[in-house]
Amino acid sequence: MKLLLIGNGYLGQAISREFRDHGWEVIPVSLSGGDGSTACDVGDAVAVAKLPVADFIVHCAASGRGGEEAYDHVYVRGCRNLAEKFPGTPLIFTSSTSVYAQTDGSVVTEESPAIPDRETGRLLLEAEAITLAAGGIVTRLSGIYGPGRSVILRKFLGGEAIIEEDGRRFLNQIHRDDAARAIFHLATSGALGEIFNVSDSQPLTQLGCYEKLAEMFSLSLPPSGPRDLNRKRGWTHKQVSNAKLQTTGWQPDFPSFVDAAESVSRTLLPV
């Protein structure tokens, strides 16, 4: 079996390892062509047409920290180009739980309203619609952390963390390796044309998370401060449910962020 992997970054390389460990041939694709990948601008239909045929496609390319124009180019045009150039080839698009803009602390499932308050979120929904219309799978990923990467841990250990107001806001996270396993699981499950939340099993309040980290690392709680309304994923307060994904047979190795916090902390560069 052959996988065409659009995106060869932090998540993409983990997905590549997961598929290869199961005997797949993986063709990684990136904009620059670095790290042994094929160079291709997925937003360019002519470039996409030159990519080889595969048995499955995963689109997990990053926007390069860009704004609306980058989201439209990489995600909307990218999904459209892949769907048009490879009709009939199953496609997974890795979207984001940021499309859920709930601020009431409620549990959100794939059936919950997805009405993002930012244009980038609306562009993700457009890319999702293209994927679903082509019979593909949409995965909505929570905040990704893992070896060498965790905004929460880095700020906490570096003394830069702030508890927003009373700390009631829920943090929804997914370990990179659990996300990669979920992608492979869905690619081989036959569950086409559906949306799945990819998140861990225990959303933590910001206060609860920092209390556990303070105990784990013998550090003081961060100070309180105002809401950070400029967060890249928007300011939301929700509990993302992974129940639908679990019904397909997937289980996270790290059900909670704190389950991996100590091991991840040892991989972070000194703050």
d(CA 114, CA 156): 30
Q: Would you place residue 169 in the very low, low, confident or very high pLDDT band (cuts 50, 70, 90)? A: very high
Q: Which CATH class is domain 2-265?
A: alpha beta
Q: Average pLDDT of 7-27? A: 98
**Hey, how many other C-beta atoms are within 10 angstroms of the C-beta on 238?**
20
% of the chain exceeding 70 in pLDDT:
97
Half-sphere exposure of 109 (CA within 13 A, CB side): 7
Tell me what pLDDT residue 145 has: 98
Q: Where are any strands of DSSP class E within 129-194?
A: 137-141, 143-145, 163-164, 170-171, 173-175
> Which residues are within 8 A (CB) of 187 and not within 5 positions of it... i.e. 6 or more apart?
3, 19, 56, 58, 90, 92, 137
End-to-end CA distance of the chain, in Å? Answer: 42
Q: Average pLDDT of 154-181? A: 97
For the whole model, what pTM was predicted? 0.95
What Rg, from alpha-carbon coordinates, does the chain have?
Answer: 18
d(CA 6, CA 31): 9
**Hey, how many other C-beta atoms are within 10 angstroms of the C-beta on 188?**
13
Task: Sketch the domain layout of the chain as residue ranges.
Answer: 2-265
Tokens 């609860």 — which residue? Answer: 208
Q: Which tokens belong to 161?
A: 């963390």
Closest CA to 260 of 191, 212, 192: 212
pLDDT in tens, 205-256: 999 999 999 999 999 999 999 887 666 556 799 999 999 999 999 999 999 9
| Per-chain mean pLDDT for the chain | 95
Q: Average pLDDT of 4-9? A: 98
